[in-house]
Chains A and B, each alone.
Chain A
C-alpha cells in the first residue's frame, strides 16, 4: 500500500504541487494525465526525493517519511523502495546494458556479482536485449535504451515503479516496443505510477486514471469513466485537445 498525503512542492514563489493526496494499492496501475507544466513530473520526482517536497507524507509499506523532516536515511529508504524510468532514459553512460541492470543489485543491494549478473541476463532476455548485453548506451537506439531503463527498474524489485513519460523522447518507430514491455511489466502485478500522453495506452493499462491540473488532482476514476464520462470541465477540455 502506497500513501501520499498533502504533498506540497514550491519552486520559489510558484506552488507546483498543492497538497496531493493519492493512495495506490498493491499491484495497482495508476496513470497520471494532464496538461504540461501541471506538476506531473514533479509529483513523481517528489515521491523519491529527486525533488525535495516542502511538506506532506509519503508511505510505502513499512516506510513512512514526513517530507518536512526527512533525513538522509529516510530518503535512501524511499529511493530503494521505488524505481524510476526517465523520459530521457538516464542510463549510466559508463556501463554496458548488462552493467546498467546489474549496477544497483551489486552496489546498493550488495548481492553477489554472479547472482546479480544472472538476474540481469534474465532481464535482458525478457526485454529482448540478450544480444545487446555488452553494448554501451550510446550505441543503442532510443527504444533499446528505454528498454534497458525499464530493465534496470525491473531488476531492483521495487514496491513502486515510477514512469515519467517513458515514450515522449522516442522516435515514433520505437514507441510500440517500449509500451509492449510496459504491458509485460504490468502482467507481473508490479505497482506502477505512470505519467504518459499515450491516451490509448492509458485506457488499456490503467486500473485508475488521475487527472492533474494546476498542481492538484482534479478528477480520478477508472479509465472508462474518465475518458468516456469526464465530469470536470478542465478534464473535458484537456481530452478534447489531446484527441483532436
Chain B
C-alpha cells in the first residue's frame, strides 16, 4: 500500500484534457452519422421495402450481435487486406465508421419502436390532409417519435463517448491512448487511469444533466 501521487495526477489533468476535443469530435461525428443511418433503417423497418427489408434486418442483426471491438478490428486491420482502396483509412476514420455502424443498429431499433409508438390518430390525420408518406414521416411522425426516443438516444451517445476509448486499440491517441502513454512512462498506472476515469465520468454526468433539460424541452408541447 502506497499513497496516491496527487501532484502527478493534477499534472496529468491538462494533458488528458487536451484530448477531450478529439474524443468529443469522434463521438459527435459518429452520433450524427449514426442518427441519419438509424432513421433511414428505422423508416425502412416500418414501411418494409421488399428485399431491402431482409438486408436491413441482416445489418441490424450483425452489428448488434458482435462486439464493437471485433467490428473495429475488422474494419481497421481486416478490411484493407481484401479491399485495397481502404489502405489509406486512418484510425480515427475507422473508429468513427465502426461506432457509426454499431450504434446505428441499436438506435434503429429504438427509433423503429418510437415510430410504432406514435398514436394511430396521428398517421390518419396526416393521411387525411393528403400528405405523402415522406411528408407524413418528416412533419408528423418523426418529430413525435423523436420525443419518445430521445432519452434512449442520449444514453447511446453516452455509450458512444465511452466507446471512443476503444480507438486507442487502432493506434489513435485520444484520451485513453494519451493516458496509456503517460502511464507507460511514469509507471503510475493507478493514478493515470483514475484521472482518465474521473474525466470520462464528469463528461457523462454533464451529458446526463443536458439530457434532463432536453426531455423537458421536447415535452413542452405535450404538457397539460
Show the binding face of A for B, using Cβ within 8 Å: 48-50, 76, 79-80, 82-84, 86, 88-96, 103-104, 107-108, 136, 138-139, 152, 156
Contact = CB atoms under 8 A, between A and B. Distances in A.
A94 B126 CA distance: 12
B135 A79 contact: no
Contact of A107 (B122, B139, B224): B139
Nearest to B140: A92
Interface residues of B, number: 22
B139 A103 contact: yes
B124 A93 contact: no
Contact of B222 (A84, A90, A136): A136
B54 interface: no
B84 interface: no
Contacts of A90: 121-122, 124-125, 128
B130 A76 contact: yes
Contact of B221 (A80, A89, A138): A138
> B-side binding surface: helix, strand, loop or mixed?
helix
Contact of A79 (B128, B222, B223, B224): B128
The 8 closest A-B pairs by CB, nearest first: A80-B130, A84-B128, A90-B125, A104-B129, A79-B130, A136-B221, A90-B121, A94-B143
B186 interface: no
A86 B128 CA distance: 10
Nearest to A87: B121
B140 A50 contact: no
Nearest to A90: B125
A168 to B, nearest CB: 15
A91 B221 CA distance: 13
A108 B125 CA distance: 13
B124 A86 contact: yes
Interface in B116-140: 119, 121-122, 124-132, 135, 139-140
A60 to B, nearest CB: 12
A84 B144 CA distance: 21
A178 to B, nearest CB: 17
